[in-house]
Amino acid sequence: MAQPQSSLLPASHQILFLAIVALLLAVARSEYDGPLCVSENKVFHVRVDLYSGELGYYAFEECGLENVNPTVAMEIGETYTFIQKHRSNYFHPIGFAYSPYGDEELKKEVTPSTSEGNPACIGNLTCAAPMYYLNDEYLGHYSNNPTLLQNVTVNISDNGLDVYEPLFFRSPAEWTSMGTFSMKMRFDDADIKKDMFIFCHIHEWMAGRIKFTKNGTVLNELDVPTLGFEFDYNTPLLSDFDKECGTFGLGDYQIPGHPHCPDQFVCDKDDPAIDPKMAQFGSCIDAMNCHMLVGMTTGIKAQDERALFVHQMIPHHQNAVNMAKALLKRDKLQCEDLTDQETPDCVLEGILYEIVNTQNLQIQAMYDYLDAMRMPEVDNCDVKLETVADDTQQQRQQPAQGSNARGLGYYYDYGNTVVVVLAASMVWMLLQR
Ligand SMILES: *[C@@H]1O[C@H](CO)[C@@H](O)[C@H](O)[C@H]1NC(C)=O
Ligand SMILES: *[C@@H]1O[C@H](CO)[C@@H](O)[C@H](O)[C@H]1NC(C)=O
Ligand SMILES: *[C@@H]1O[C@H](CO)[C@@H](O)[C@H](O)[C@H]1NC(C)=O
Ligand SMILES: *[C@@H]1O[C@H](CO)[C@@H](O)[C@H](O)[C@H]1NC(C)=O
């Protein structure tokens, strides 16, 4: 009796048939179907969206500022210009890397001597690399691009970055006064089998994917290398509350209602005479102070003064960053030109940009320190919130005096000032050791 046949073809042919179908399907859908940020005139006006995560992400005017960290298309052999004029670029010199990691060693920065395609360029420094400009003047000597620098160079590595990057550490007013910073790049290695990443030379984890195209068709459809981490805006740490405030990581620290925080740091929010938008800003400040208060109760597991300093200072810095971002987000400051130091709001806006960027950088450096010293990344402890006697109302009216003003009642009245003073004394104490 014949075996019942499940198909007209023998098994080996079935497999072959399926393989051919799969191949045809693969060819049929070989177009990369993700959204791509394309600039027709090959110019990208760069912004940094500080609110889309703890450190912010790049966005481009050409692709809509609501599309934070878009996947950018770059045509092989074409020259692109990335203009970093907008003030949000302060402290964010742009670069390219073959790896998405912010980690220094793994970054695989795109330089005249790095390649993920044809390696022949590595020995004589002729690989495609960014070229850095200030006010349309090239700051380096390397070139792979005869349209930019008449003679393509051999064995020259200086692409201007050593001048470009340090200028981003000047004050916001100075940096602005220098003019227009930009970077140009012609990627000419069609053998590239991977994506490239936009990164920030100063802040980590800002990896924006670049897909290369040849005559408009994406070369590598797969998102390789894979990212290996989550962008902040895809995590619950960027809560709806944060989006409203312009902050990061505060969703779980709203008060009243947090077991380790007082009911408020900013008083009178319920007063009907207070503008609801002002009250809402007060709630943002409340949550960031609660976040800091909870963060600044830590253990001493490492039995090391340096670890205690860092564990306490990180939440303190995070608070400063959140406060500054929240105020920037309000669009309250009236500053046309950051270099105008006669306008008080320009001075304050400069301070805000400095706080956000330098303190974020220091937070990163402090985490790196813990890592390098093999100290625990966090060492939190929960401190029970004592119920303070019902005289806070009274204390607020008559400033607490001297040694009477200890404990949490102190926080109610002086909140951030106290912690700033505490932090400053911690720095002092540590330096004395
Ligand atoms: C760089 O070196 C490679 C490999 O030796 C060679 O093929 C290429 O022509 C060199 N480029 C220049 C501009 O000399
Ligand atoms: C570039 O440097 C390499 C390695 O030092 C050397 O072999 C090569 O001759 C140099 N090429 C030119 C054009 O100077
Ligand atoms: C380019 O190279 C040629 C020949 O080596 C030389 O004569 C010319 O001066 C160079 N041009 C520039 C702008 O350096
Ligand atoms: C590029 O694409 C256009 C239109 O799709 C086509 O006419 C042209 O031949 C292509 N060029 C190359 C070099 O493939």
Read off the tokens for 126.
């002729």
Atom of ligand 3 nearest to the CA of 149: 13
Instruction: State the chain's maximal CA–CA distance in angstroms.
Output: 104
Residue 430 burial (C-beta neighbours within 10 Å; 0-12, 13-18, 19+): middle
Instruction: State the Cα–Cα distance between residues 38 and 71, nearest whole angstrom.
Output: 9
Q: Is residue 426 part of a domain?
A: no
Is position 272 within any domain?
Answer: yes
Supply the range of the domain harboring residue 373: 235-408
The answer to whether residue 98 sits within a structural domain is yes
154 in ligand 2 pocket by Cβ < 6 Å?
yes
The response to whether residue 152 sits with its C-beta less than 6 Å from ligand 2 reads: no
| Per-residue pLDDT at 400 | 37
Q: What residue's CA is closest to ligand 2, atom 9?
A: 124
Q: Which listed ligand is nearest to 146 at the C-alpha?
A: 3
265 and 152, same structural domain?
no
- 215 C-beta neighbours (distance < 10 Å), count: 7
User: Same structural domain for residues 352 and 218?
Assistant: no
Report how far ligand 4's centroid is from the alpha carbon of 215 (Å).
Answer: 6
Distance CA 21, CA 114 (A): 39
Distance 134 CA to ligand 1 centre (A): 30
Q: ∠88-94-100 over CA atoms, to 5°?
A: 115
Identify the pLDDT of residue 167: 98
In terms of domains, do 46 and 161 share one? Answer: yes
Write out the chain's pLDDT in tens, 433 residues: 344 444 445 555 665 655 555 555 444 445 688 899 999 999 999 999 999 999 999 999 999 999 999 999 999 999 999 999 999 999 999 999 999 976 666 678 999 999 999 999 999 999 999 999 999 999 999 999 999 998 999 999 999 999 999 999 999 999 999 999 999 999 999 999 899 999 999 988 999 999 999 999 999 999 999 998 999 999 999 999 999 999 999 999 999 999 999 999 999 999 999 999 999 999 999 999 999 999 999 999 999 999 999 999 999 999 999 999 999 999 899 999 999 999 999 999 999 999 999 999 999 999 999 999 999 999 999 888 776 555 554 444 443 333 333 333 333 334 444 455 556 666 666 666 5
Residues 269 and 378 in one domain: yes
Tell the burial category of 403 from Cβ atoms under 10 Å away from its Cβ (0-12, 13-18, 19+).
exposed
Place of tokens 């890592």: 371
> How far is 195 from 190, CA to CA, in rounded Å?
12
Domain boundary residue among 187, 204, 226?
A: 226
Bridge partners of 182, per DSSP, are: 83, 133
Q: Is the CB of 144 under 6 A from ligand 1?
A: no
Do 383 and 267 share a structural domain? yes
Give residue 116 CA to ligand 3 midpoint distance, Å: 30
- The 8-class DSSP code of residue 391 comes to T
- Residue 19: predicted pLDDT: 59
User: Are both 256 and 358 inside the same structural domain?
Assistant: yes
DSSP 33-73: -S--B--TTSEEEEEEETTSSSS-EEEEGGG-TTS-SPPEE
pLDDT at position 428: 66
Whether 124 lines ligand 1, by a CB cut-off of 6 Å, is: yes
Confidence (pLDDT) at 34: 85
Shortest CA distance to 259 belongs to which of 109, 118, 384, 364?
384
CA atoms lying within 13 Å on the CB side of residue 114: 13
Domain termination residue (choose one: 226, 260, 281): 226
Tell which of 182, 203, 226 closes a domain.
226
Does some domain include residue 421?
no
Q: Which residue has the tokens 């110019």?
A: 43
CA–CA separation, 385 and 264 (whole Å):
13
**Are 219 and 248 in the same domain?**
no
Q: How many domains does the chain have?
A: 2
Ligand 4 mean position, distance from CA 217 (Å): 10
155 Cα to the center of ligand 2, angstroms: 6
Contacts of 58 (CB under 8 A, 6+ apart): 46, 47, 48, 49, 68, 69, 92, 94, 198, 200, 206, 208
Choosing from 121, 143, 153 the residue with most ligand 1 atoms within 8 A of its CB, the one to mutate for a pocket test is 121
Q: How far is CA 257 from the centre of its chain?
A: 30
Q: What is the model's pLDDT at position 421?
A: 54
CB 298 within 8 A of CB 290: no
- CATH number, domain of 55, equals 2.60.40.420
Strand partners, 196: 210
Any domain includes 429: no
CA gap 110, 309 in Å, rounded: 36
